[in-house]
Chain A
Amino acid sequence: MLPMPVRIKFTQKGIMQFISHLDVDRTMKTVMVRAKIPVHYTEGFNPHPKLVFGLPLSIGVESECEYMDFKVDAEMTYEEITDKLNAALPDQMRVVEAYEPKLSLSYIAFTEYKVFCAEDTDLSPLEKEEIIVSKRQKKGGYKDTDIKPMIHSYSRCEGGFTLVLSASPDAYLRPEYVLGVLGLDDCEVTRTRVFRKNRIGEPIDFR
């Protein structure tokens, strides 16, 4: 049935970590034209291609799991969409898969990051009862905020450690606040997975 809903999962590697969310959005609009994918336009006075992104990605963070939803005004297979997009994307963005979305992207509640650093990095600052940082507010300005409740978990792994942080719309924690607490500002970071909540509020895989 048209328009056909599509979700793509894509990666952003290498120099793409320096490109802002807004610029990725602009890039995707031209990519759709180059890929000859007839994206469904919004109705109204100023029609434009409707692209809905999952989470914003901080500058300096790579990703293996970005999400974008759109609709297509033509019969196409998901494989065809994947192939066409990959031919039109910059080298350091790749579509991993395209599929029919079941759940809205707003269900994303947690994300996992892998932080590349010395394996004996001291993580004890994260064990404190309260972790107060000066956090930027949605409305602008900064406010001292306890980020402890937004750090779901962390565990050591080969080459560093992983972090699972809250990513719900009302409590989105950027990884750089946690890295700042640990004094790891120059580390390489990759977003590796995203989760939704199960019935008891614990992360389970999002798709």
Chain B
Amino acid sequence: MNDSEMRKLLKNVLKPGRYTGGEYGQIIKDKKDIKARVAFCFPDTYEIGMSNLGVRLLYGSLNKADDVWCERVYAPWDDMEEGMRRLGVKLYAHESHDPIDEFDFVAFTLQYELCYTNVLNMLELGGIPLLAKDRDDSFPVIVGGGPCAYNAEPVADFFDVFSIGEGEEALPEMVRLYINMKDSGSYTKAAFLRELAKIPGFYVPSLYDVEYNEDGTVKEYRPKYDDVPKKIVKRIIKDMDKSYFPDKLVMPYIETVHDRVVLEVYRGCIRGCRFCQAGMIFRPVREKSPDVLNCQARTLYENTGYDEITLSSLSISDYSQLDKLTDDLLEWTDGAKVNLSLPSLRIDSFTKELMDKVTTVRTGGITFAPEAGTQRLRDTINKNVCEEDLMRACRTAFEAGKRSVKLYFMDGLPTETLEDIDGIADLAKKVAGEFFKVPDRARGKGPQVTISVSCFIPKPFTPFQWEAQDDLDTITEKQDHLMGLVRGDRHISYNWHDAKTSRIEAVFARGNRRLSAALLEAHKMGMKFDSWDEHFSYDNWMEAFEKAGIDPAFYANRRYGEDEVLPWDIIDIGVTKAFFLREKKKAYEAATTPSCREQCSGCGANRLGGERSCCPCLSE
């Protein structure tokens, strides 16, 4: 595309800065040096995609090789899509402005289920047939990865291969295999995929036959050839200190969601909340050293000019050297007028000292996630925090002059009753009451406690993977019940998630390959950007399911059998099914499991290895 075409295209769009490329820090290469080109697609808007740490890491690690050029692609918003279709412009990559069907690989990161319709729309805008079986060797290899790839079955028919686990090492290996086969003249897509399947961490769905039982459950996954692995073991980076880390970033012109340096402190999580997929799939815990982190933070600050650094991980206060890291950072960040922020603080680790160090906590609101309203239910989900922890944390915040606290909860959790919902309201009221017990509290208006309640979604690779999601009526009843309890309390405000969105997420989270038919129908109906309220339509989804002969309740609201073959059984994340079953049983007994640092629970992830981890017997 040339400048004049670009002008025509961008003249009437709302935010042209989403589509221009040309940012400082983008990587431009000379096409004549390049043997493989990768279009790395984020199936949502530029502002969201540019904020994603995984994209930043993979963009850099793929571009390390001189003969590989990885570029960025984002989903165009309505106004842009309309212009592209009208002017016949194909979806293009930001660096070269070349259409994506000219690339060797088109890779999608699958961050949430509701992006699937965007994936299909982007393929179509790129002039690429949607179904893998309809694409001959002239089309790019379509690759998927990210958290949803752990159960990619609903989109398996559209992809050639999935990268399972962490991709910083795996994706460059994949591209290298491709270049070698091209160089030696042995490349056909089929031969390449067959070879790729032998590299750990690559799942080629077309190499497996799936059989179903009469009741619609999966009977068996059978590799089509003997040299295709029966299970795909996820890849991990063993030593996070030595893992690839970008020394510069692409700097967006327009404001993005996380427009700052994001410093990944460690991977994995020592907790083991039974609803949480991230806490399981990223095991084992692997920390970075504080010195390495401090050095990376400094480099990135100097090379980006950002005035904020976020320390990121699933539960930042569980980092074993948080004090040293924050002290080291503060030695230079204050002078450089750089703010430190921590996104996820646990209730039981919230202290005055930590609060004083962190700008966003100092100046902004405070958020805690008790997740459930009663101790019984918090024990069931293994949240391992108690009411006293919460009250102490809130007191600390109020003593420091805060008046507003936000509390995250979930409803529809397994074993939940209306008593647990009552507990949410009680807890909020107690927190508000705590405010008035603080002698040097903020004067003027009273406390503001916001309770934000999302819906439980049973996720693959969790102890709750077999559980049913509450049906819509039950969730609505619980939401109304809670509303009745807090309505009229001027110190409490209540937000809840749309249960319909959560239901669609649940369908795809635990879906099998049959769901691809529903996605095709949804795509034909013009559905996209389903994670955006202005686009999401539950009725359209129901229509798509009906046309495809899919019963959403079979996936979302059914209790899966413990000996049922699960669609994601073909993936091995290190953590064993036996562990999930043990945890499920303990959940029903409201028995907790200590964190990895206190005692190994034998989840199985330690067999993957990993440095600076708290797992025992890693050498085994």
Residues of A within 8 A of B16 (CB): 18-19, 59
Asked if residues B253 and A23 are in contact (CB atoms below 8 Å), the reply is yes
A30→B7 contact, CB < 8 A: no
A-contact bits for B13-32, CB 8 A (1 contact / 0 none): 00011011111100000000
Most buried by A among B3, B19, B305, B337: B305
B196 to chain A, nearest CB (A): 36
Task: Find out whether the CB atom of B7 lies under 8 angstroms from the CB atom of A90.
Answer: no
CB neighbors of B among A27-73 (8 A): 27, 29-34, 36, 41, 47, 59-60
A30: contacting residue among B3, B8, B306, CB under 8 A:
B306
Residues of B within 8 A of A29 (CB): 305, 307
Q: Is the CB of B302 within 8 A of A92?
A: no
The answer for the CA separation of A14 and B21 in the assembled complex, in Å, is 11
Chain B: residues with Cβ within 8 Å of the partner, total of: 27
- Give Cα A42–Cα B21 distance, bound, in whole angstroms: 32
A6 within 8 A of B: no
The residue of chain B having its C-beta at the shortest distance from the C-beta of A17 within the complex is B7
- The complex places the Cα of A47 from the Cα of B251 at a distance, in Å, of 23
Q: Are B7 and A19 in contact (CB under 8 A)?
A: no
Q: Contacts of A23 on B, CB cut-off 8 Å?
A: 17, 253-255
Q: Which residues in chain B, 232-285, are within 8 Å of chain A measured between CB atoms?
A: 251, 253-255
The answer to whether A15 touches B254, judged by C-beta atoms less than 8 angstroms apart, is no
Mark each residue of chain B from 283 to 317: 1 if its CB lies under 8 Å from any CB of chain A, else 0: 00000000000000000011111110000000000
Alpha-carbon distance A156/B287, docked complex (angstroms): 67
Q: Could you tell me if A188 and B4 are in contact, using CB atoms closer than 8 angstroms?
A: yes
> Which single residue of chain A is at the shortest CB-CB distance from B301?
A33
Residues of A within 8 A of B3 (CB): 14, 188
Contact B303 A18 (CB under 8 A): no
Whose C-beta in chain B lies nearest to the C-beta of A27?
B253
Asked if A20 is at the interface of the complex by the 8 Å CB criterion, the answer is yes
In the complex, what's the smallest C-beta–C-beta distance from B250 to chain A, in angstroms? 10
Q: How far is the CA of A18 from the CA of B13 in the complex (A)?
A: 10
Q: How far is the CB of A70 from chain B (nearest CB, A)?
A: 14
Of the residues A36, A41, A186, contact of B7 by C-beta under 8 Å: A186
Least CB separation from B24: chain A residue: A90
> Is A26 an interface position by the 8 A CB rule?
yes
B10 within 8 A of A: yes
The verdict on A91 contacting chain B, using a C-beta distance below 8 Å, is: yes
Q: A27-B253, A30-B251, A34-B305 are in contact. Are A60 and B11 (CB under 8 A)?
A: yes
Residues of A within 8 A of B21 (CB): 15
Judge if A133 is at the interface, Cβ distance under 8 Å.
no
* A34, A41, A59, most chain B CB atoms within 10 A: A34
Contact A32 B305, beta carbon cutoff 8 Å: yes
What distance in Å separates the Cβ of A195 from its nearest Cβ neighbour in chain B? 27
Q: CA A17 – CA B20 in complex, angstroms?
A: 10
Q: How far is the CB of A12 from chain B (nearest CB, A)?
A: 11
Distance in Å from the Cβ of A46 to the closest Cβ of chain B? 11
Chain B contacts for A14, CB-based, 8 A: 3, 22
Does chain B have a CB within 8 A of A88? yes
B6 at the binding interface (Cβ < 8 Å)? yes
Give Cα distance in the complex from A119 to B392, angstroms: 76
Query: B22 to chain A: which residues have CB within 8 Å?
Result: 14-16, 90-92
Shortest C-beta distance, A160 to chain B (Å), equals 14
Is the CB–CB distance between B23 and A90 below 8 Å?
yes
Per the bound structure, the CA–CA distance linking A31 and B11 in Å amounts to 27
Shortest distance from the beta carbon of A102 to any chain B beta carbon, whole Å: 29
A18 touches B10 (CB 8 A): yes
Cβ–Cβ contact B302 & A33, under 8 A: yes
Does A186 lie within 8 Å of B8, measured CB to CB?
yes
Residues of A within 8 A of B17 (CB): 18-20, 23
Residue in B closest to A34 when the chains form the complex, CB atoms: B305
Report the separation of the CA atoms of residues A91 and B16 in the bound assembly, to the nearest whole angstrom.
18
What are 23 A-B pairs at a CB distance below 8 A?
A15-B6, A15-B20, A18-B6, A18-B10, A18-B19, A18-B20, A19-B17, A20-B254, A23-B17, A23-B253, A23-B255, A24-B253, A27-B253, A30-B304, A31-B305, A33-B301, A33-B305, A60-B7, A88-B24, A88-B305, A90-B23, A91-B24, A185-B11
- Which residues of A are at the interface with B, using a C-beta cutoff of 8 A? 14-20, 23-24, 26-27, 29-34, 36, 41, 47, 59-60, 88-92, 185-186, 188
Q: With A24-B253, A27-B24 given, can you name 14 additional A-B contacts, CB distance below 8 Å?
A: A14-B22, A18-B6, A18-B17, A18-B19, A18-B20, A30-B305, A34-B303, A47-B337, A60-B10, A89-B24, A90-B22, A90-B23, A90-B251, A92-B22
Closest 8 CB pairs of A and B: A30-B305, A33-B305, A18-B16, A15-B20, A15-B22, A90-B24, A34-B305, A23-B253
